[in-house]
Structure 1
Amino acid sequence: MKKVTDPDGYSVSQLLGLGQQSARKSYYPELTARMAELEAERNRYKWLFENALHGIFQASLGGRLLAANPALAAMLGDADVAATLERCASIEALFAEPGEAQRVAALLHERGHLQGFTTWLAGSDGRRVPVALTLLRKPDQGEEILVEGFVADITERERARQELLALNARLEARVRERTQRLEQLNADLAGEVAERRLIEEQLRAARDLAQEANRSKDRYLAAASHDLLQPLNAARLLVSTLRERKFDADTSRLVDTIHLSLEGAEELLTDLLDIARLDQERIQPQRECFSLSRMLCGLVAEYAPRAQRKALRFRCVESSLCVDSDFRLLGRVLRNLLSNACRYTESGSVLLGVRRRGDAVSIEVHDSGPGIPADQLQAIFEEYHQLNAERARNRQGVGLGLAIVERICQRLDMAIEVTSRPGRGSRFAVRVPIGQPSPALEAASVTALPESPLQGRRMLVVDNDSRILLGMQALLEQWGMECHTAHDLDEALAQGLAAPDVLLVDLHLDAGETGDRLVEKLRRHWRQPTLPAVVITADRSEEWRRSLAGLDLPLLHKPVRPGKLRAVLSQLLGRESR
């Protein structure tokens, strides 16, 4: 049977010499069977060649395309195989790149075969078809080099590669853009950092100036306060002495007016100092467990006389409980509340009482004063706020007392409560946690401490201000005490006195001497290490307060209130008498 594509060739039978009558007829059946197998194999390969999914061709590297399958024709966009063979009569025409055929031939000579070689074939419509070639060199066919090629269309892969390249290019462009933006942002940020550093330096300089100004203000305020409080304290002591003497009605009113004026000046100065120290957080709580009776007795001794001078009933409901708080700050809160109650109550009573509330106690101040409208219950804690003070004659103080109360309560984590009925009176209450007293404190605590009589008790007062000495001597002698005075240690010792019952010394004396050292020297002189002593000063610093508290020396701030002085002395001398 002859090939369809080669009608002039020889059939298999002719090639085998079976077309003539041969004498070897005995081999005819076997040869016929063999020939049929060969023909079947040929048809199978032909079917595979024509129906393969990939392009297949046979070519001579030196000349033309010899054969191609339909898949290759379709891949190149030709109508059929004949069109492909006609268009690519020269092997050069098969490749899209000039000189590509020579390059492929050189590689094939060098390697003997090519596998997965990527190139571009020329399509019928002028397009370039990306392919992967596998070329096998056939055995030598004389001078002509024959190759068989297998072609895989990699258009999709190439498109994906191009898209990937484009995507990479876009990403690189975006990276460059973002990099430029980041560089610009970094440059802007560097500028902002430099500007912020400049601003911070300016702020630090301004802060340093403000702190220095604040320290200068504190130094000035301390110096001015001391200079103001010294004569004010002397005047208060002298006026208090006069108030306890018998005068006619006009003179008594004049003395009371002077007393109120001095008291107002004292409270103004004290409140201004305290509010400034609280706002600057220079007052740090020193919590301790102490008996309420100790505090309540002192408050009664201090404020009962003030209430009596206004014909007010003053009552105290005492308690043997111990609380955990700052003795001095809690006392300041209660003093402010009692001071307001005595000041604004014109008739009726003032009550200081204690009620237990679970694990806390409510310390309350009740009065029968004018009361507070409901819409003013919060406003009264604002600085400089006073009720019914539109006119100057109605103003009492400067309106800092309750502002100080609120700040101290915040510092001590105490709740403050106020209720009031206009025309009936007001109730202020602070809630303080109950403390667990030590056995020594329980043994020392008493339910009530009666005011110790001062009559006949001997006191030594040491102060470098003659006005203070004069006023203090007049007041103490008015109370029936025997009072000796001195400006310093040498003057005190020069008098040859026997040991007094109590010492009252100023903190800052001349030549750098301090009250705590003076007390120690006097105790050694009289060989009485527990001789009672009280220190008075216009210095309100926390350092001195803690230092004196550590020495168990009571501290009173100038101007000294006579009632508070009487209460402290009564406690000290009463403790000694027991």
Structure 2
Amino acid sequence: MKKPSDEQADSYGIGDLLGFGSQSVRKNYYPALQERIEELELERNRYKWLFENALHGIFQGNLRGGFLACNPAMAKICGYSGPEDLKTRVIRLREQLFCSSSEFDSLRQELLDNGSLSAREIRLRRADGAPVHVAITLLRRPDLGPEVVEAFVADITERVQSREKLMQMNADLERRVEDRTTALQDANVGLRYQIEEREKVKRELVVAVKAARDANRSKDKYLAAASHDLLQPLNAARLMVSALQESVLPAEESRMVQQVHRALEGAEDLLADLLDISKLDQKAMLPDLAMTDVAALVKGLGEEFDAVAANAGLHFRVRTIPAVVKTDQRMLTRILRNLLSNAFRYTSHGRILLALRARENALRIEVWDTGPGIEKSKLREIFTEFHQLLPQGSGGRQGAGLGLAIVERMVRVLECQIDVVSRPGRGSRFAVTLPMEATDRQHAVVPGTGSAQTFSHGFSGANILVIDNDLAVLESMKLLLERWDCTVETAPGEAAALAYLERAVRPPAAVLADYHLDNGQTGPDAIHAIRQRLGQKVPAALITADHSAEMRKKMRAQHLPVLNKPVKPNRLRALLTSLLS
């Protein structure tokens, strides 16, 4: 007979005694536990999906036995129908999976020592006995067993085949290179004589090139010497002739002086052209760019050519607009002077116009004439050196045919443009186009080519000190300046100039100094010494035969105006006017 307590126990049940009664096992009593169980189930399913659908082979196995688990990709790599087929048929990894037992033993020992190995290239045995190249990563799992491992396997058959193919290609290429090298060596034996001949010719060419360079250097040295040695006597002769032109002479003597003046002018122009064309061809003439008041420059050229127009009986006009451009003032002046000289040379009657015209971001300087014109087919020929289209006697003094060649080269150096249009029998128009920059007019460099006011009645006893080591230049300069009512003192060097200051009643109104003096002295040094002695900045300028850009930069830094030899009277007059004003 059951005791009441037994019946009561049966009525409660074992679950009630353990605390898992009918109500305690309801799911809603353990929501957090149930949620965690569901999460674990989802995670398990996700890893299961990854395991079964991975592209690489994954397996768990015992190094002393076979597979514990594997995925479909592993079975596919080894050539089995599925994971169960692989696990059933391969029961010994060492003998049935690995192609080399010694390789397996090496991997096993390394795994036992280190616990893992990564991306080791080995060969596994497929179901049909063929090897497959794989990269295997092994991780030891001692928590699952002393020699239980997990592995990731990638099929690298294509990579190995490509590598072997590349190695074969390299071997073939090396063999071909060896064959070709042998062929070339055989060919070189036959070419050795030709190479020796070529080397001989090369040595002869080197000698010839060196000789040509030496000749060019000699020519440059000669021209450099000529620029000073020839311009010095030309300068003295021009000043003498200019002084004679200022004198009242009989008609015949005046005509002879005029002829001498034209002859000296022709020699000066020819020498200047030869020096410039040589420098341009040697690329030795570099632009000295500075902000330049082109309007003032053009007005100065207009004043310079007014007398030429009056003598030729031509109507000459200058039209300007305010214009400042960054350019080389001397080279631009030379370009325009050559264009104007050509216009006056070949225009026997009619008009000549020098005009500035504004264009978008550019300035055009145009020279118009009513000369004989040029045929369209010959417009390019006029820019070649020593080339003249018009016959002798067709108008004006003839040159050497270098003027327009110099213009074309200087235009290239300044990176501007020149164009010409012409109608035979009607005249020509030359135009130089310069790029313009926005700048203040106050920064312009005002040219010294006659832009200052010209004194028509002399300089009224202005005391001028002239320093030059050439006595002929001193004498001719003194004679010319005295014709202009100047009081002139001359000195061959700095010491003589300082000695003059000691006895002078009044200081000079202006100093004109040659750059190269005797004993290594220079004109700027003499000017500096004079200013130091007097304690004031006496107006001064340099007169030199050195036309280089380096000289202009050096003098600009010292704020000294420069007048190049041979000195033309109208430019000297303009320079003196500027200094004395």
- Aligned mate of 2:527, from 519, 530, 547: 519
Identify the residue that residue 539 of structure 1 maps to in structure 2.
Answer: 546
Whether the 8 Å CA contact 1:385–1:399 is kept in 2: the answer is: yes
Identify the residue that residue 484 of structure 1 maps to in structure 2.
Answer: 489
Q: Distance in 2 between matches of 1:361 and 1:172?
A: 67
The equivalences for 1:111-150 within 5 A come to none
Q: Distance in 2 between matches of 1:327 and 1:363?
A: 14
Whether the 8 Å CA contact 2:418–2:430 is kept in 1: the answer is: yes
For the pair 1:256 / 2:258, whether they are aligned, the reply is yes
What are the superposed Cα offsets for residues 320-342 of structure 1, whole Å, 9 maximum, x if unpaired?
A: 21112111111110111122223
For the pair 1:455 / 2:459, whether they are aligned, the reply is yes
Letter in 1 for 2:277: I
Whether the 8 Å CA contact 1:540–1:557 is kept in 2: the answer is: yes
- Seen in structure 2, the aligned counterparts of structure 1 residues 559 and 355 have a Cα distance that, compared at 3 Å, is same
Q: Distance in 1 between matches of 2:534 and 2:174?
A: 95
Whether the 8 Å CA contact 1:507–1:516 is kept in 2: the answer is: yes
Letter in 2 for 1:570: T
State the Cα distance separating 1:190 from its structure 2 match: 8.0
Identify the residue that residue 271 of structure 1 maps to in structure 2.
Answer: 273
Q: Distance in 2 between matches of 1:467 and 1:444?
A: 32
State the Cα distance separating 1:182 from its structure 2 match: 2.9
What are the superposed Cα offsets for residues 272-316 of structure 1, whole Å, 9 maximum, x if unpaired?
A: 111001000000112122211331233233222232233333322
Letter in 2 for 1:534: A
- Seen in structure 2, the aligned counterparts of structure 1 residues 336 and 391 have a Cα distance that, compared at 3 Å, is closer
Identify the residue that residue 553 of structure 1 maps to in structure 2.
Answer: 560
State the Cα distance separating 1:455 from its structure 2 match: 1.9
Letter in 2 for 1:380: I
Structure 2 segments unaligned to the other structure (5+ residues):
1-171
State the Cα distance separating 1:187 from its structure 2 match: 5.9
State the Cα distance separating 1:462 from its structure 2 match: 1.0
Count of matched residue pairs: 405
The equivalences for 1:183-194 within 5 A come to 183-184=185-186
- Seen in structure 2, the aligned counterparts of structure 1 residues 196 and 244 have a Cα distance that, compared at 3 Å, is same
What are the superposed Cα offsets for residues 113-161 of structure 1, whole Å, 9 maximum, x if unpaired?
A: xxxxxxxxxxxxxxxxxxxxxxxxxxxxxxxxxxxxxxxxxxxxxxxxx
State the Cα distance separating 1:440 from its structure 2 match: 4.4
Whether the 8 Å CA contact 1:303–1:563 is kept in 2: the answer is: no
Letter in 2 for 1:218: D
Whether the 8 Å CA contact 1:240–1:562 is kept in 2: the answer is: yes
Q: Distance in 2 between matches of 1:245 and 1:341?
A: 30
Identify the residue that residue 410 of structure 2 maps to in structure 1.
Answer: 408
Q: Distance in 1 between matches of 2:378 and 2:174?
A: 70
- Structure with max Cα Rg: 1
What are the superposed Cα offsets for residues 1-37 of structure 1, whole Å, 9 maximum, x if unpaired?
A: xxxxxxxxxxxxxxxxxxxxxxxxxxxxxxxxxxxxx
What are the superposed Cα offsets for residues 392-442 of structure 1, whole Å, 9 maximum, x if unpaired?
A: 998611110110000000111111122223333322110011133247427
Identify the residue that residue 161 of structure 2 maps to in structure 1.
Answer: none
Q: Distance in 1 between matches of 2:406 and 2:482?
A: 35
Identify the residue that residue 123 of structure 1 maps to in structure 2.
Answer: none
Identify the residue that residue 281 of structure 1 maps to in structure 2.
Answer: 283
Identify the residue that residue 125 of structure 1 maps to in structure 2.
Answer: none
State the Cα distance separating 1:384 from its structure 2 match: 1.0
The equivalences for 1:195-206 within 5 A come to 202-206=204-208
Structure 1 segments unaligned to the other structure (5+ residues):
1-169
Deviates more, 1:213-222 or 1:195-204: 195-204
Instruction: Give TM-score, length-normalised by structure 1.
Output: 0.63
Identify the residue that residue 246 of structure 2 maps to in structure 1.
Answer: 244
Instruction: Give TM-score, length-normalised by structure 2.
Output: 0.63
What are the superposed Cα offsets for residues 472-508 of structure 1, whole Å, 9 maximum, x if unpaired?
A: 2222233333332221122222223333232211111
State the Cα distance separating 1:222 from its structure 2 match: 2.3
3-state SS of paired residue (1:536): strand
3-state SS of paired residue (1:504): strand
State the Cα distance separating 1:218 from its structure 2 match: 2.1
State the Cα distance separating 1:268 from its structure 2 match: 0.9
- Alignment RMSD (CA, Å): 3.4
3-state SS of paired residue (2:291): strand
- Seen in structure 2, the aligned counterparts of structure 1 residues 176 and 363 have a Cα distance that, compared at 3 Å, is closer
Identify the residue that residue 426 of structure 2 maps to in structure 1.
Answer: 424
Identical positions, percent: 46
Whether the 8 Å CA contact 1:301–1:564 is kept in 2: the answer is: no
Q: Distance in 2 between matches of 1:188 and 1:552?
A: 70
Identify the residue that residue 528 of structure 1 maps to in structure 2.
Answer: 536
Whether the 8 Å CA contact 1:460–1:504 is kept in 2: the answer is: yes
Whether the 8 Å CA contact 2:292–2:446 is kept in 1: the answer is: no
Identify the residue that residue 343 of structure 1 maps to in structure 2.
Answer: 345
- Aligned mate of 2:516, from 501, 508, 514: 508
Whether the 8 Å CA contact 2:324–2:441 is kept in 1: the answer is: no
